[in-house]
Amino acid sequence: MASEKKCPFQTQQFGRPVDDNQHSQTAGPRGPVLMQDVHLVEKMAHFNRERIPERVVHAKGYGAYGTFTVTGDITQYCMADLFSKVGKQTETFARFSTVGGESGSADSARDPRGFALKFYTDQGVWDLVGNNTPIFFIRDPLKFSDFIRTQKREPQSHLKPHWRRWDFWGEVPESLHQVMFLYGDRGTPKSARFMNGYGSHTFSVYNADGKRHWVKFHLKTQQGIENFSDEEAVQIAGEAPDYSTRDLFDAIDIGDYPQWKMFIQVMPESDAAGYEWHPFDLTKVWPHDDYPLIEVGVFELNRNPSNYFQDVEQAAFEPGNLVEGIGISPDRMLQNRVLSYPDAHRYRLGVNYHQIPVNQPRCPYATYHRDGTMRVDGNGGGSVDYEPNTMDGPVETGRTKEPPMPVHGDGRRYDEFACDDKDYYGQPALFWNKVLDDPARDRLCTAISNSMADSPQRIRDKVLEHFRKIHPDFASGVERRLEAPADEPIPIA
Ligand code: NDP
Ligand code: HEM
């Protein structure tokens, strides 16, 4: 492995041929091993260091390479080079994941799915690091680590009792919308091929005249939505914990390349202040009637990674990887994410993580970063390593079309969201009334009551009170299931 020329025999890591890979050096045929056995020690020591920290969230995942092709002209909104022409193609990489489980956990767990896309554009890498849901549980990054702990293991027992999540959700009602998505049918997708993806946040896009619009990105599966039932998800977790990993790998392997259509919703900048839903609140969608989907292109996955660890485990996505034409918005979750991800990568992969091939830009790039652990890209050779300089080093372009982000107000901790009933319960009620039919409501109530079974009464009461404000049938549907014997069928309403 590793060297350019194929080696006809096994070697140690510095090239010495291995004469015997079956027997350690010992003192006599029946004696102890000798410390001088460099080959043995090298094998042992390398093996002891093979694991790197797993992602603190989204640890279990799978990925593939692909292509993005523009099918709709959005240059009036966005000057990003990758959208510049209908028919233009860009190389991509995608990683799909569950959130709360460890890297060996089951793919079918009821959990949001990560939907992380990397576009190797001619003008730098753009990462769209989304989920299979258009919303999230919280809208302030200060709550992120607390929320995630409720999805992880309990500190004393190392078990995962569900009451912890209901305890948190009961106290944080902006989470209800996403809770309904999670316990609805799309909380257990069969595999990445059968789910939608969403950038979730509101992003800024601007055109060549520097005019800004706010947008949301949507990726709609072309394979159709397919989910496991609650029972199937549990069964598959035992029988085939890597079900979705295999599903994507096998499909690509036989040339059945999955596709998603990319759409945007576009909001004129001037709409933001007066729109009935806070446009930078990650717990809200923009209803399609207000901001219809506009087709942008087709995202296809068509090449499996040649090595999982190299390409998938070492992939580093970051919402701050943006290209000219796309920017962030005042969404405070997004603003925190642009800082959090590179911080996590420096810890997990090291400061030079941008050199790992899956993360590298495919266009020329020239920074003044030097040195750091595992620098292996020539380190700039003898070129000048400071700027400004008179030595013909790379210089800034001086060009930007990005419109300034208007900010105002005194710095302090605000709860500036309305926090009235419409704010917490308005869109969950739309979801219950408009999107779900009775069988889907039934499955939602059953999945929630199964999960709430270990919750003490005070937590149940708090959560049911919230559900009542979404719809009385929702609360009673869950309550009656909680009180009923497990196998008794209970109709909605
Ligand atoms: P629409 O009737 O125009 O769209 C409903 C949306 O719900 C579609 O995007 C559909 O996805 C999606 N959907 C269907 N079943 C489920 C499910 N079990 N879990 C999650 N999503 C599902 O509705 P509006 O735009 O007027 O919004 C009404 C409500 O729909 C919102 O309050 C929100 O709860 C939900 N929703 C809205 C989305 C948006 O971006 N506007 C996106 C997803 C959900 P598909 O078309 O792929 O079947
Ligand atoms: C992974 C932080 C919200 C999607 C991660 C990782 C961190 C993190 C630290 C691990 C990165 C790594 O080690 O590679 C945060 C913080 C959030 C937040 C602080 C909120 C303040 C979100 C939201 C979404 C999301 C809202 C989706 C809309 C993802 C995905 C991954 C991930 C898809 C896995 C990326 C991959 O496949 O490598 N997040 N996250 N996160 N997050 Fe978030």
pLDDT tens readout for residues 139-186: 999 999 999 999 999 999 999 999 999 999 999 999 999 999 999 999
Ligand 2 mutation pick, 340, 347, 353, 359, max ligand atoms within 8 A of CB: 340
pLDDT of residue 128: 99
User: Measuring CA to CA, how many Å separate 106 from each of 102, 110, 234, 445?
Assistant: 9, 10, 9, 23
Q: Could you give the CA distance from residue 176 to residue 136 in angstroms, rounded to a whole number?
A: 9
Residue 354 is a catalytic residue? no
Ligand 2 pocket, residues with Cβ under 6 angstroms: 55-58, 61, 95, 97, 114, 116, 129-131, 136, 141, 144, 200, 315-317, 333, 336-337, 340-341, 344-345, 348
So where are the chain's domains? 61-132+189-359, 137-151+160-188+420-493
Instruction: Give 155: exposed, middle or buried? Use CB within 10 Å, 0-12, 13-18, 19+.
Output: exposed
The residue count for the chain: 493
The CATH fold assigned to 137-151+160-188+420-493 is Hemocyanin, N-terminal domain (1.20.1370)
Q: How far apart are CA 303 and CA 92, in angstroms?
A: 10
How many angstroms is it from 358 CA to the middle of ligand 2?
18
Q: How many helices (H) and strands (E) does the chain have?
A: 12, 10
CA of 24 to the centre of ligand 1 (A): 62
Half-sphere exposure of 461 (CA within 13 A, CB side): 3
429 vs 474: CA distance, rounded Å: 10
Query: Which CATH number is 61-132+189-359 given?
Result: 2.40.180.10
Q: What is the pTM of this model?
A: 0.97
What pLDDT shows up at residue 421?
Answer: 87
Q: How far apart are CA 93 and CA 98, in angstroms?
A: 17
Question: What confidence score (pLDDT) does residue 4 get?
Answer: 62
Residues 6+ apart with CB under 8 A from 265: 215, 216, 218, 286, 288, 291, 292, 293, 294
Q: Is 97 in the pocket of ligand 1 (CB under 6 A)?
A: no
Round the average pLDDT of the chain to a whole number and report it.
96
The answer to the question of whether 353 is labelled as a binding residue is no
Beta-bridge mates of residue 94: 64, 117
* Mode of pairing for the β-strands spanning 203-206 and 212-221: antiparallel
Are 117 and 197 contacting, i.e. CB atoms less than 8 angstroms apart? yes
CA 435 – ligand 1 centroid, Å: 6
At 432, is the secondary structure helix, strand, or coil? helix
State the residue for tokens 């990003």: 80
Euclidean distance between CA atoms 282 and 200, whole angstroms: 7
* Number of the ligand closest to the Cα of 226: 1
Q: Is 131 marked active-site?
A: yes
Residue 452: exposure state from Cβ atoms within 10 A (0-12, 13-18, ≥19): buried
Q: ipTM higher than 0.95? A: yes
Across 131-140, 141-150, 400-409, least confident range: 400-409
Instruction: Give the model's pLDDT for residue 420.
Output: 85
